[in-house]
Amino acid sequence: MEKGKKETVLELKGVSFSYGKNSVLDKISLAVERGDFVGMIGPNGAGKTTLLKIILGLLKPDSGSVSVFGKSLSEFNAPYRIGYVPQKATNFDPNFPASVFEIASMGRFSRIGPARSLAKDDVRKIEQALDFVGMLPYRDARIGDLSGGQQQRVFIARALAGDSELLLLDEPTISVDSESQKRFYSLLRKLNRELRMTCIIVSHDVTMINGLVNRLLCVNHTAIIHDVSNGIKEEDLCCPYDREMTLVSHRHEHSHG
């Protein structure tokens, strides 16, 4: 790649999708560059989760094209490069037997293949990922015994252990208390700024992602993207909703730790 030229890690061109006769997405076009942090907002039922599933290849668009890291989804053969944290990642049965280390190791197996055993370098990579998110002291704890915020950190470690470069998060703090939310968003800032991980997050909490994201994707059947490098403005919030919204400051601060 030429020096100074930005790399497009995700590109959608004219993507449309319907559930039966119900049109959900209409001609969505979007380009995300390496190091971007994209916030996705929109009303319930607007198609945000559907859009993430299309990017992941879990749903096939009715029309249009999707490419990741310069390849169409049909040609893309490195799924470990995309990490995903779903809405319900925290809904664990407390008796679920997997440990923190075992959950994080799933990301490594997606990288090396399920038939291989973990080598010393693989174990070191998993432990480094857990250490980065502050969960290494809990490596042997059962995932079901952790708080919602701790569980989400383990899922971030799973993506890191697999060398993910694009991280998709679907309302990851929906069932997490406010203090854990702030710590989680600080972790995302660290991932984006220190590791240059490209992130796309669906969130209804605009005040929490304000100052974190540099682009805002407003989705409601169609999509409009705004440059919010200097902060989200009230006019940026009105496009995906039927009525006007107001940006209320809750004075949430993202730490740099």
Domain boundaries, the chain: 1-69+168-257, 83-164
β-sheet bridge partners, residue 12:
30, 66
Mean pLDDT for back-to-back runs of 10 residues, the chain (257 residues):
73 95 93 95 89 93 95 90 77 74 90 82 93 94 87 90 92 80 88 92 86 90 88 72 43 41
Q: Which residue is listed with tokens 């390849």?
A: 71
Name residue 178's amino acid: S
Q: Quote the pLDDT of residue 24.
A: 93
Any residues with CB less than 8 A from the CB of 20 and at least 6 apart, and which? none
Q: Quote the pLDDT of residue 4.
A: 55
Q: What SS3 state is found at 238?
A: helix
Burial of 88 (0-12, 13-18, 19+ CB in 10 A): exposed
CATH number, span 1-69+168-257:
3.40.50.300
Rounded to 5 degrees, φ, ψ at 2 are -65, 145
Q: Quote the pLDDT of residue 232.
A: 80
Question: How many other C-beta atoms lie within 10 A of the C-beta of residue 163?
Answer: 16
Q: Quote the pLDDT of residue 16.
A: 96
**What's the token pair of residue 23?**
């049109």
Q: Residue 19 belongs to what H/E stretch?
A: strand 8-19
Pairing, β 8-19 against β 222-227: unpaired
d(CA 185, CA 76): 30
With beta carbons less than 8 A apart as the criterion, state whether 15 and 61 touch. Answer: yes
**What's the token pair of residue 148?**
């919602």
Which string of DSSP letters, residue by residue, matches 47-80? Answer: SHHHHHHHHTTSS--SEEEEEETTEETTT---GG
**What's the token pair of residue 77?**
């053969």
User: What does DSSP assign to residue 204?
Assistant: S
Q: Residue 196 belongs to what H/E stretch?
A: none
Q: What SS3 state is found at 226?
A: strand
